[in-house]
Amino acid sequence: MSEETKSLNFIEHIIEEDLANGLPKDKLRFRFPPEPNGYLHIGHTKAIGISFGLGEKYNAPVNLRFDDTNPAKEEQEYVDAIKRDIEWLGYKWENELYSSDYFQKLYDWALQMIKDGKAYVDSQSSEAMAEQKGTPTQVGVAGPYRNRSVEENLDLFQRMKAGEFPAGTHVLRAKIDMEDPNMLMRDPIMYRILYAHHHRTGDEWCIYPMYDWTHGESDYIEQISHSLCSLEFKPHRKLYDWFKEHVYEYSKDKLPLPPKQHEFARLNLSYTIMSKRKLLRLVEEGLVSGWDDPRMPTISGLRRRGYTPNSIRKFIEKVGVAKRENVIDVSLLEFCIREDLNKTANRVMAVLNPIKVVITNYPEGKEEWLDAENNQEDESAGYRKVPFSREIYIEKEDFKEEAGSKFFRLKLGGEVRLKNAYIIKAEHVVKAENGDIEEIHCTYTEDTEKKVKGTLHWVSIKHAITAEIREYDRLFSDEAPDSHADKDFMEFINPNSLNIKTGYLEPSLSEAKVGEQFQFQRLGYFNVDNDSTAEKLVFNKTVGLRDSWAKQKPKSQNNQSQQNKSQQKRPPLSVIQQFGKKYTNLPEEKRLKVKAEIQDLAKDVSYDDLEPLFGTATKKAGTRTVVMIALKVLLKNGLERNDAINQFISKAIEDKNELLVAEATDIF
C-alpha cells in the first residue's frame, strides 16, 4: 500500500496522463525487445525492470520479443540465455515473440509502400549512398535511382526476395527527405539482401528488414501502447512515427492502436563497461572465464557471483528512471546485496589467512561442540554445533604483538572473545628464524560473561575443512573505462581482479551445495561456485561486509586528498555566491557562521572578479549582501575606493532589505 504514496517517474506520469485522456487501462501493453546477439547485463536489467515493472504495476501484459533481424549475429544460445536470465529475475512475459514472425507482414506492407511511392529500390554501392546522405551539418542529395517507377521498384524488390541478386547489390529505401536535419530521415534503408541462415526462419528469406522498419511495426502488430527504449533511440523517434503513420493507414481496422515511443537514460555503473561488443571482447580474449565469470556485469555473472534476483530488482528500483545521463556508484549495488543477504544468509566461520593459536591451558585431545546461532536476523534459522579444540586458526590480521587502544583484536597481554566460544588472552608468540610468527600461545577462561572489546572468528584446526576461495576485485581500475577517446578500455584492466586462496572452514560447510550462500563472519558473503565438486569446495566472495576499521587505517593518505580535491574544485567567489542565494533566509545563528566564512573566503577573491557582481539584480538582496561583506574585507585589506564601489554601496543603503542596508551602512 505504501506504493500509492510513492512518487512517479516520468514514464509513469505519461501513462497516467494517457489513461486520464481516455486510453482504456486494458489497452496498456509493454514489451522487452532484446536482440539475441549476446548475454543480458545489469544495464538491460533497468530496461527489463521498467517494462516488466510497469506490467506488474498496471497488471498489463509484457511481451518478450526477440529483435532478430540480423541473422549474421544472432544465435539460439543467446535466446536461451536471455530467457533464463529474465525468468531468474522473477519476471513473467505474456508471449514469447520474434520479429522474424512478422517478416511476411512487413514484406506485404513494404510492397504497399512501394505502390504508394513511399519506397524505392536503390542499386548503388553503400559508399555512394553514404556520400549522398550528407553529414549532420550538410544536407543530403538524391541518388540516381530515387525516382524509379513503381513498376520497376516492384519488380526489383520481388526479385530481391526471390534471390536473383547477389548480396549488397540492391536495397529498399523509404522515400522521405534527403534534406531532413535528422539524418535518419534521409531515405533510410528498409531491406538489404543477406544470404545467411536465420536461427528461426532458416533459408526462407534472403532479404532482411532493418531495425527501424522492423521494430516500430512489431510494436504496432503487437499493439504495444508504450514502447520504451533508451536515449540513443531518441533521434529514431521521428522515423518510428513516420513508418507507423503509413502502416496505420493500411491496417487501422485490424490494428487500431498506434504505439508511442518514449526514451529513458540507460544505466551506467562506475568501474564497469556495459557494451555487449566490449564484453564479448573480454570473453573472446580470455580475460574472463566466460559470459558468466563472476566479475562480469552480466546477469549470469552476477548470479554466479552470488547476487540474488531480489537484490538486483531492489537496485533497479533505487536507481530510478529519468532522462539524464547517469553513473551509478557500485556501492549502491553492494548495499542492495548486503541488505538482502544480511537477512537470509546463515553465518558461519572461515579463516582465510590463518595463523595458529595454541590454547595452552586447554587439555590436549579434548574437544567440545559448542552452540552457534545461524542467523541472529532470522530466528527460524536455528543453531548448529561448532567444534572447539586446543589448536585453532584465526586471521593473521587479527593479531598484533603490540597495538594501541583502538585495536580491539588480539595483542600480547590482551584478551579477546572467540565467537561462540571462550575468552582468550595472548601470552607469548613462537617465531621462526626469519622473525615470522608461527604460533600464538594463549590461555583461556570459561568465564564468557566478562566484557571484552573484540570478538574474533576462528576454526578448530583439527576439524577444519579446506576450500578454494575466489576473491574478486573490480575488473577495471578506471571509473569509466570506455569513456576515454584516446585510450582503449582494455588498458584499464585490473590485473588483480581475481585472487584465489585456500580457506579453512568449520566442518558444517562440508554439506554446502552449489549456489548456497553464507556469511563468513566478519569477512563477507560467499556462495558455492558451480565449479565445486564432491572432492573440492569452491566459494566465490559475493561482497565483503562493510568495514569501518579497514577504512580508518589508510586515512592519512586517502581521505585527505579526497577532501582537498573537493575543496579545490570550487573557486572562493562561487562559494560566496552560493551563500548569497540563501543568505537572507538563514536563521541568525547560522547567518553569522556563514558571514564569518564569507569573510574568510573573501581574502582569496580579487577585485576584478568581484566587480561584475555589483550589477546583480536589485531583487537578489542576498547576493548583494554577501558581495558587500566580501567587499568590506577587500577594502580593509587596502583596496582603493572607486566610483563603482561607491555607487554599489549607496544604492544598497537605499534598499528595503535590512540586512543589506546594515552591511552597507557599516561600510559607508
Only segment of 331-339, 437-445, 499-507, 508-516 that touches RNA (CB under 7 A) = 331-339
Phi then psi for residue 309, to 5 deg, are -55, -40
CB of 111 to RNA, least distance (A): 19
Nearer to RNA, 89 or 319 (CB): 319
CB of 289 to RNA, least distance (A): 26
Q: Does 118 bind RNA (CB under 7 A)?
A: no
Only segment of 78-86, 187-195, 379-387, 493-501 that touches RNA (CB under 7 A) = 187-195
Segment 341-370, which members bind RNA (CB under 7 A)?
342, 347
Q: Does 171 bind RNA (CB under 7 A)?
A: yes
Segment 432-471, which members bind RNA (CB under 7 A)?
448, 454-455, 457
Only segment of 88-96, 207-215, 535-543, 649-657 that touches RNA (CB under 7 A) = 207-215
Segment 574-603, which members bind RNA (CB under 7 A)?
577-578, 581, 585
Binding map of RNA across residues 20-39, x = CB under 7 A, - = no contact:
-------------x-x----
496: which residues sit within 8 A by CB, 6+ positions away? 473
User: What is the spatial distance between Cα 645 and Cα 653, in angstroms, rounded to a whole number?
Assistant: 13
Nearer to RNA, 546 or 641 (CB): 546
Catalytic residue among 83, 84, 266, 323: 266
Nearer to RNA, 211 or 607 (CB): 211
Exactly one of 57, 428, 487, 551 binds RNA (CB under 7 A); that residue is 551
Segment 129-158, which members bind RNA (CB under 7 A)?
129-130, 133, 135-137
Catalytic residue among 29, 244, 276, 522: 276
CB of 638 to RNA, least distance (A): 27
Q: Does 182 bind RNA (CB under 7 A)?
A: yes
Helix, strand, coil percentages for the chain (3-state, nearest 5): 40, 20, 40
Only segment of 104-112, 165-173, 245-253, 492-500 that touches RNA (CB under 7 A) = 165-173
Catalytic residue among 35, 391, 427, 611: 35
Nearer to RNA, 30 or 532 (CB): 30
Is residue 628 a contact partner of residue 667, using CB atoms and an 8 Å limit?
yes
Exactly one of 409, 470, 541, 595 binds RNA (CB under 7 A); that residue is 409
CB of 568 to RNA, least distance (A): 12
266 an active-site residue? yes
Is residue 622 a contact partner of residue 583, using CB atoms and an 8 Å limit?
yes
User: What is the spatial distance between Cα 327 and Cα 254, in angstroms, rounded to a whole number?
Assistant: 43
Nearest to 477 by CA among 497, 507, 457, 503: 497
CB of 267 to RNA, least distance (A): 9
Q: Does 522 bind RNA (CB under 7 A)?
A: yes
CB of 236 to RNA, least distance (A): 6
CB of 126 to RNA, least distance (A): 3
Binding map of RNA across residues 529-548, x = CB under 7 A, - = no contact:
----------------xxxx
Q: Does 275 bind RNA (CB under 7 A)?
A: no
Number of residues in contact with RNA under rule CB under 7 A: 103
Q: Does 325 bind RNA (CB under 7 A)?
A: yes
- The 3-state secondary structure of 281-330 reads HHHHCCCCCCCCCCCCCEHHHHHHHCCCHHHHHHHHHHHCCCCCCCCECH
Segment 62-81, which members bind RNA (CB under 7 A)?
67, 69-70, 72-73
User: What is the spatial distance between Cα 529 and Cα 527, in angstroms, rounded to a whole number?
Assistant: 6
Task: List the grid coordinates of 245.
Answer: 503513420
Is residue 463 a contact partner of residue 491, using CB atoms and an 8 Å limit?
no
Nearer to RNA, 141 or 322 (CB): 322
Angle (nearest 5°) at CA 200 between 196 and 202: 40
Segment 214-243, which members bind RNA (CB under 7 A)?
214-215, 231-236
Extract long-range pairs of 360-365: CB within 8 Å, 24+ residues apart: 360/427, 360/441, 360/442, 360/443, 361/443, 361/444, 362/389, 362/390, 362/444, 363/390, 364/390, 365/390
Nearer to RNA, 124 or 477 (CB): 124
Write the CA distances from 351 to 331, 348, 443, 506, 512, integer angstroms.
25, 10, 20, 9, 17
User: What is the spatial distance between Cα 567 and Cα 316, in angstroms, rounded to a whole number?
Assistant: 32
Q: Does 571 bind RNA (CB under 7 A)?
A: no
User: What is the spatial distance between Cα 574 and Cα 596, in angstroms, rounded to a whole number?
Assistant: 16
CB of 535 to RNA, least distance (A): 29
The 3-state DSSP class for residue 544 equals strand
CB of 57 to RNA, least distance (A): 14
Nearer to RNA, 124 or 223 (CB): 124
User: What is the spatial distance between Cα 309 and Cα 291, in angstroms, rounded to a whole number?
Assistant: 18
Is residue 220 a contact partner of residue 258, using CB atoms and an 8 Å limit?
yes
Is residue 582 a contact partner of residue 576, using CB atoms and an 8 Å limit?
no
305 an active-site residue? no
Q: Does 125 bind RNA (CB under 7 A)?
A: yes
Exactly one of 252, 318, 536, 636 binds RNA (CB under 7 A); that residue is 318
CB of 193 to RNA, least distance (A): 6
Q: Does 521 bind RNA (CB under 7 A)?
A: yes
How many other CB atoms sit within 10 Å of the CB of residue 269? 21
Sign of the C-alpha dihedral, residues 339, 344, 349, 351?
negative
Exactly one of 105, 278, 323, 651 binds RNA (CB under 7 A); that residue is 323
Residues in the chain, overall count: 668
Q: Is 119 exposed, middle or buried (0-12, 13-18, 19+ CB in 10 A)?
A: buried
- The 3-state secondary structure of 31-51 reads EECCCCCCCCEHHHHHHHHHH
35 an active-site residue? yes
Segment 640-659, which members bind RNA (CB under 7 A)?
none
Which spans in 145-236 are helix H? 150-161, 211-221
Exactly one of 62, 156, 228, 321 binds RNA (CB under 7 A); that residue is 321
268: which residues sit within 8 A by CB, 6+ positions away? 43, 274, 325, 326, 327, 328, 480
Catalytic center residues: 35, 266, 276
